[in-house]
Amino acid sequence: MRALVAYLSYSGNTEEVADFIANRLTMDGLAVSMHRIGIDPPVFPSDYDFIFIGTFTWDQGSTPDEVKDFVAEIGYKPENVAVFGTGDTQFGGDDLFCLAVDKLVRFYESKWPGLKIEQSPRGNQELKIVNWLEGVLENAKAFA
């Protein structure tokens, strides 16, 4: 199985989560391609069994323009999209925390809940990522 981990990261937090996800997927035997949104050349989502899209939340709960452009580049709504992101409750509180994740989950009508990480994925948040990935992979078997 092939997985694409596409992400946008300014501070490095979302990139850390993307790297963690890619490493775990590789350990689970998936062939993983990394894609830096807004930097790497376009990809062909139809080449992948799973697409993981990672973002941070910008401004007052907005999805960054680069991520919106990536969504437009895809040109359709694949059914195999799982969304993750990083945020900071310090800016905007719980109402705006990782709101871009929620927006992308709704847009793609994802089968899986979005993964929301407070700032960096270190410490107990690593287990949160592992549990989320297990849920995505297990749930995907049911849809296969």
All structural domains of the chain with their residue ranges: 2-143
| Cβ 124 vs Cβ 85: under 8 Å | no
| pLDDT tens-digit readout, 100-142 | 999 999 999 999 999 999 988 888 899 999 999 999 998 765 5
pLDDT at 94: 74
Could you give the CA distance from residue 110 to residue 10 in angstroms, rounded to a whole number?
25
Whether residue 9 is predicted with pLDDT greater than 80 in this model: the reply is yes
Distance of CA 25 to the CA centre of its chain: 13
| Cβ 20 vs Cβ 121: under 8 Å | yes
Per the document, the length of the chain is 144
Which CATH number fits the domain 2-143, given the four candidates 1.25.40.10, 3.40.50.360, 3.90.226.10, 3.10.180.10?
Answer: 3.40.50.360
On the CB side of 16, CA atoms within 13 Å amount to 15
